[in-house]
Amino acid sequence: MATAMKLEKEMVLLNQHFSTDEEAIEAAGALLVNHGYVRPNYIESMKTRHRLSTVYIGNHVAIPHGTEEAKEEVLKTGLSILQVPNGVSFGTEQAKLIIGIAGIGDEHLELLSHIAIICSDEDNVERLVEAETAEEMIQLLSVEV
């Protein structure tokens, strides 16, 4: 990854199941909270952001992140990665990969760009959804783009 951020295996959860998009967003946010990337209020901001404009970006990928007003809730830049093999509905679409983003300053833009490039290839997304270990997912997301 072209960012200074290091992906950590404790930020990857495999084989998750969610009933709603909101539940998936809360889980992505809780992982960020539990590992000290954001304050708890950031989760509500992630849900608000999704209500304003969907965080589903296509190819079975959603990238929940907070609103501009929630920047003060971000403590350090990081990602939470949730693999949802059976998918969860985001409107009329099914997300199988939920990538929560927290970014200091404009660092989230670099993260969004990197993720968008990798996930624009459906084969990459399929490999991420089929990954059997956190290490495998990190390796797939860490390629130079």
- The DSSP bridge pattern shows strands 56-58 and 61-62 to be antiparallel
Which residue in 129, 121, 61, 122 sits closest to 95, CA to CA?
61
Specify whether the CB–CB gap between 59 and 49 falls below 8 A. Answer: no
In sequence order, what are the residues at sequence separation of 6 or more whose Cβ sits closer than 8 angstroms to the Cβ of residue 44?
none
Which residue in 1, 11, 55, 9 sits closest to 32, CA to CA?
11
CA distance 54 to 40: 21
- Catalytic residue positions, numbered: 65
